[in-house]
Structure 1
Amino acid sequence: MSETERVALAATPLSKLLRTIEPAHLAASTPCAEFDVRALLNHLLYWGPSLVGAARKEAVPPPAPTESGIDLTAGDWPAALDTHLDELATAWRNPAAWQGTTHMGGPTELPAALVGGMVIGELVVHGWDLARALDTTPTWDDDLLRYVHDETAATADQGRQLGIYGPEVPVPPTAPLLDRILGITGRDPAWS
């Protein structure tokens, strides 16, 4: 699988989920303790421009907290999220997005391939969070999950230090790849 297609592959199940969300789902809990469905959707929208900017080597700071997300009571949020996912996939399809260094919403330069891996992990893990809140199970390509597992395992300690991941949840080494990814990020794969 080409690295330039990974973001699109990670985004596809999330894009399908968006079409199933109804207003009654917005207050539902997710496996990510800090987010209900509404907050998770706003989180994805809040960081969207920075993640697209990272692929283009543009430092796009996230909006001020008062500007985060959109009005989820209006009918425009599914289209806004779909547009974001399309822009994200398009930006990361460019081979140059994966080369050199870039910024992710701040002044610190990071290896572009590291940021690309973080973007893919964000889509898979938060896609799973959203799917579980909606009582469904998403699926991703095994090659993509293997990539996400390796990237997540390599940065897990740093992610925990930054408060991005919770304490690791023990998962058997023979468990499915997605379950192992979730355990690394501090999520219980059996959450319901």
Structure 2
Amino acid sequence: MADIGERYRRRATAFEAKVAAVKPGDWGNQSPCVKWSARDVVDHVVAMHGYMLGPVGRSFAGDDPLTTFRQARAAVEEVLDNPELAAQEVDTPAGRMTAEAQIDQVVSDDLVLHGWDLARATGQDEAMDPEDVERLWRSTTSIPAEMITLYRTPGAFGPDVEVFGPEIPVPEDAPLQDRLLGFIGRDPSVRR
């Protein structure tokens, strides 16, 4: 449990720094997620926090992206710090798992990937932590082909939900971060 909590905190700190660094006029900038602005990226991350915490009765809303993210982050950290809540089993598209495992596999990973989206949309440093890139590469490329197909199917997990976009080809000798981004449907070569 400590590793999951530490990983979440490290990633949340990096994401929060990106949210805090967005200039007021940049919230409407197009993100690499075709249907989303920079603000939409943060709203999605906050909404996913609420979705993960739905079984324990938490949701979040607000006008200020930084404040709302901080509230969502604090609530996730409360769950991760409470062994009883962290061990609570929940139903997920991947089957039953503990709340902490779902947080680790969904919300925590989203912080890294959507942190890149937010950085790209707002002109910030796009470098992901190399440890996170390696871990995400291993986990995403080990997903069974039938699940990858489902992840790439718009609406498979709800209206307007697309987990991964169509794979974007990148050179085999490209940095691992670029190969990861291409695998999940982001084109690291396109600047918006």
Whole-angstrom CA distance in 1 between matches of 2:18 and 2:26: 12
| 2:110 aligned with 1:111 | no
Matches within 5 A, 1:123-162: 123-155=111-143, 156-161=148-153, 162=156
Does 2:3 match 1:15? no
Instruction: Answer yes or no: is 1:121 the counterpart of 2:109.
Output: yes
Q: Which has the higher contact order (CA 8 A, sep 6+)?
A: 1
Match of 1:70 among 62, 78, 90: 62
- Could you tell me which residue of structure 1 aligns to residue 186 of structure 2? 187
Superposition map of 1:16-35 within 5 A: 16-35=17-36
User: How far 1:19 sits from its partner (Å)?
Assistant: 1.3
The two structures have a TM-score, normalised by structure 2, of 0.75
CA distance change for structure 1 residues 100 and 48 in 2, over 3 Å: closer, same or farther?
closer
CA RMSD in angstroms comes to 3.0
Cα distance, 1:97 vs structure 2: 6.7
Q: Distance in 1 between matches of 2:33 and 2:186?
A: 7
Per the alignment, residue 45 of structure 2 pairs with: 44
CA offset at residue 9 of structure 1? 2.1
Q: 1:9·1:144 contact (CA, 8 Å) conserved in 2? A: no
Structure 1's 175 and 8: CA in aligned 2 closer, same or farther, altered over 3 A? farther
* Whole-Å separation in 2 of the counterparts to 1:115 and 1:183: 24
Q: Distance in 1 between matches of 2:77 and 2:175?
A: 26
Q: Distance in 2 between matches of 1:111 and 1:88?
A: 16
1:84 pairs with 2:72: yes
Is it true that 1:165 corresponds to 2:153 in the alignment? no
* Matched letter for residue 182 of structure 2: G
Per-residue deviation, 1:148:
1.5
Q: Which runs of 4+ in 1 moved over 6 A?
A: 95-98
Question: 1:89 offset after TM fit, Å?
Answer: 4.0
Q: Helix, strand or coil: the match of 1:191? A: coil
CA apart distance, 1:45: 2.3
**Residue identity in the other structure for 1:7:** Y
The gaps in structure 1 that reach 5 residues or longer are 63-67
Secondary structure of the 2:21 match is: coil
Could you state the TM-score of these two structures normalised by the residue count of structure 1?
A: 0.75
Equivalent residue for 1:174? 173
Q: Structure 1: how far apart are the matches of 2:4 and 2:65?
A: 28
Count of residues in Structure 1 that have an aligned counterpart in Structure 2: 177
